[in-house]
Amino acid sequence: MRKFLLFFLAMTLLATLSVACNKEDKERLADLEGRLTELENSVVGIPESPDISSHDLSVSFDDGYCWVDAAGSVTLHYNLSRPANVEVLAEEGWTATVSGQGEREGSIVVSAPDPASPSVLRLKLTDSEGCTAESFIQIHVRKPYCNVAGPRIETMAYNGFSDALATEENFQKLVEAGITMLSVEGDYADLDWRHQCRLAEKYGIKVVLFIGYSSGCYFINPENDTILENKIREAETYPAVCAYQITDEPSTYEGPSLALSRRKIAELAPEHPTYINLRPGGGSQEGMGASTYEEYVEYYASVCDLEFLTFDQYPVYLSGVEDEWYHSLEVISSTARRHGIPFWAFLLCCRERYRADPTLENIRLQGNMNLTYGAQCIQFFVWKATSGTNYAPIMNDGEYKPVYYDCKEYNRELHNREFVFAHCNVRGVRHIGNNYYLHGACLTEADLPEAISGISADGAAAVSFLGNNGNEYVVVCNKSWQDKLNVDLTFTREVYTIDRDGVFAEQQPGTSTFVIDEGDMLVVKWL
């Protein structure tokens, strides 16, 4: 019987959607090829086995069934010369899961680090008689990558349900719409907020509990009143509760009392942040209690030591978009980055006086621009109609309006690309076109990264430069919800664009023209 089996190389797989190898990859590939040549000339010992007349235990792969998904994994379908178990040894950072053990065929799912680099996988085959063989696969997953199991952009339905609407069906509709959080009023005797917290837990919805009102007034003095303490101690028994809102749009005059409340909440509920929603920019100095919006936002970030910033501003009008909104976003975003905390932002999804009725296009604009500046939670105002609102996703009688489906579609698009924005590092936002409130923030050639040598448009756009999980991105957001935007980008290397369905498309070096839909954004990625 033969004692040795000549080592074989199963095949070389190039699993890629990809850009050309960079210098480091080429060097590593050359090294791997040398290692494979050495292995090809070696032999692998097989134990003597009188019951086996042949030791030709081998593996082959079917190229036609090899595919790469968006989560950084490659699936390899294999066939064996006879049934055997397959063990895969991978380099640090790579993982491999094998199915079809003890059979003649199966699959290996290999998860690559981000960004993936060339690697060699070692396969050890063992049949039922103890005969073994080894094979080595060179694999190079050089492709777009997104961590679909990673951090999320939260989406909050602001203004919780009435008791009559706090039903299983309506909570299921929240889930179907891509909503991950719900704000619940926790201070009114006629509202069973506890029931909503129980339903939220069942459906995987987080709750921001509003505990800031008492007898119709702001409750901002916890030092001589046990009401706040009692409410939080009870609320902490509900797992769905994730944060406590204590006020809305305060001035700096209320800051010292709110800071006391914030510290009290931190003692009672250290795992749950305090939510203080700030005023929008463009208000009066008297209303803010500060001479500038920058001073106002910095005051609350510093004095209350907030875990995150949040503000509301609804900029969509029939005449266009309020320019002051971009200034507010710049102030909120830069202040949050300076303090090392995230920020949350609102969008209008109901009918309000003087503003444009909500449409998918202006919902896109508001949400996408918030993401462009780095928002980590998009808050939908209001989800349930209030007394002064005759159009919202859900009305007081339980009727769902068309805007519900617009919000649902936007959340689908958001979650398709949230891997770009969740926990991202926004390095700066520049503008093309109207910059009335943003002097000095116009896009210049010096702002461009090495992968892009030119960006121009036939209208107004915001351009964000951000990094996330080892990848670099440029995001171009159309500042109009009424008109499409034509944008020319000149690439110095192969890059990818990511559309609102989460689909990657490779772009070659040179100048390409893109049409960005109303309120939509163009996302460009490279490794």
CA distance 17 to 20: 10
Would you call the peptide bond into 382 cis, given omega within 30 degrees of 0 as the criterion?
yes
Cα–Cα nearest to 257, from 249, 266, 267, 247: 247
- Per cent of the chain over pLDDT 90 is 56
pLDDT-derived band of residue 33, with 50, 70 and 90 as boundaries?
low
The tokens of 173 are what?
């509709």
pLDDT over 90 (residue 147): no
pLDDT computed for residue 448 by the predictor: 97
Same domain, 82 and 230: no
Domain for residue 147, yes or no?
Answer: no
> Tell me: the pLDDT tens digits for 458-483?
999 999 999 998 789 999 999 999 99
pLDDT computed for residue 436 by the predictor: 62
pLDDT computed for residue 39 by the predictor: 44
Q: Out of 82, 105, 139, pick the residue that ends a domain.
A: 139
pLDDT over 70 (residue 44): no
Same domain, 435 and 416: no
pLDDT over 80 (residue 232): yes
Domain for residue 146, yes or no?
Answer: no
Same domain, 484 and 512: yes
Question: What CATH number should be reported for the domain holding residue 109?
Answer: 2.60.40.10
CA distance 210 to 222: 15
Question: What CATH number should be reported for the domain holding residue 509?
Answer: 2.60.40
pLDDT computed for residue 440 by the predictor: 65
pLDDT-derived band of residue 252, with 50, 70 and 90 as boundaries?
very high
> Tell me: the pLDDT tens digits for 121-130?
888 999 888 8
CA distance 365 to 348: 11
- Per cent of the chain over pLDDT 70 is 79
Same domain, 98 and 226: no
* Conformation bin of residue 251: beta by default, left when phi > 0, alpha when psi is -120 to 50: beta
Rg for the chain (alpha carbons), in Å? 28
Domain that holds residue 133: 4-139
Same domain, 285 and 183: yes
**Count of domains for the chain:** 3
Q: Out of 92, 108, 139, pick the residue that ends a domain.
A: 139
484, 517 Cβ separation under 8 angstroms: yes
Question: What CATH number should be reported for the domain holding residue 268?
Answer: 3.20.20.80
Same domain, 401 and 300: yes
Instruction: Please give the backbone phi and psi of residue 199, each rounded to the nearest 5 degrees, phi first.
Output: -65, -40
pLDDT computed for residue 3 by the predictor: 34
